[in-house]
Amino acid sequence: MPAIRNTLRPTGIRLLATAALAIGTWGAVAAPAAQANPIPTIHGGNTAIVILGYGLLPDGRMRPELVDRLRTAVVQAAFSPASPIIATGGNPHAGVTEGDAMAHWLIAHGIGANRIHVESRAADTIQNARNSAALMRSMGITDAVVVTSSNHMPRAANDFVRAGVPVVGRISPQELPGLVLDLAGPRG
């Protein structure tokens, strides 16, 4: 029996992941525009995953809130493997910008460096949106999934829309179910 249980376990995980994906896809259609999607949705190469920075500690290390955003972005990246990732945030501390710190973390957690584009000049959310929009245009990217905290999402999404970027997805660490993070998120 243990052999059967071990054989079935990956199938069970796949079924749970498929169910989560189905719920997430439905949620993307049914969810009001101002709310974050609780489950990531699938997007292609014309959609950027844009992670908004969060102030670094004085020594240049990331705060837990920013790490949570990155863990959430890794889940979204797993659902959208063709999507480029933009890490946006300036505000250097100890010679490290938010964008650079995020890029290093993403690479250390299995995201290919070729997917990551750093925007390290933004000092606030409006600049995150404007600078990311310019970067996206230069790459031929048409829309974005915004990754930020749930309390920051309405303002961030509006800033991106004002910058000319259609926001086709919103995902935040506070609303991502733990099961999805456990199944698709980074280890360690």
Three-class SS string for 72-126?
HHHHHHHHCCCCCEEEECCCCECCECHHHHHHHHHHHCCCCHHHEEEECCCCCHH
Checking if the pLDDT of 186 tops 80, the result is no
Would you place residue 72 in the very low, low, confident or very high pLDDT band (cuts 50, 70, 90)?
very high
Burial class (CB in 10 A: 0-12, 13-18, 19+), 185: middle
Could you say which DSSP state residue 50 is in?
A: E
The overall longest dimension of the chain from CA atoms, in Å, is 58
**What pLDDT is recorded for position 102?**
98
Mean pLDDT for all residues in the chain? 83
Would you place residue 16 in the very low, low, confident or very high pLDDT band (cuts 50, 70, 90)?
very low
CA distance 132 to 161: 12
Q: How many CA atoms lie within 13 A of 152 on its CB side?
A: 21
Query: Who has greater pLDDT, 36 or 109?
Result: 109
Instruction: Provide the token pair at 61.
Output: 């290390």
Task: Give pTM, 2 decimals.
Answer: 0.80
Q: What's the Rg (C-alpha) of the chain?
A: 17
Query: Who has greater pLDDT, 33 or 38?
Result: 38
Checking if the pLDDT of 163 tops 60, the result is yes
**What pLDDT is recorded for position 36?**
56
CA angle at 69 for the pair 68 and 72, rounded to the nearest 5°: 85
Under 8 Å between Cβ of 80 and 42: yes
Say which residue the tokens 């999402």 belong to. Answer: 153
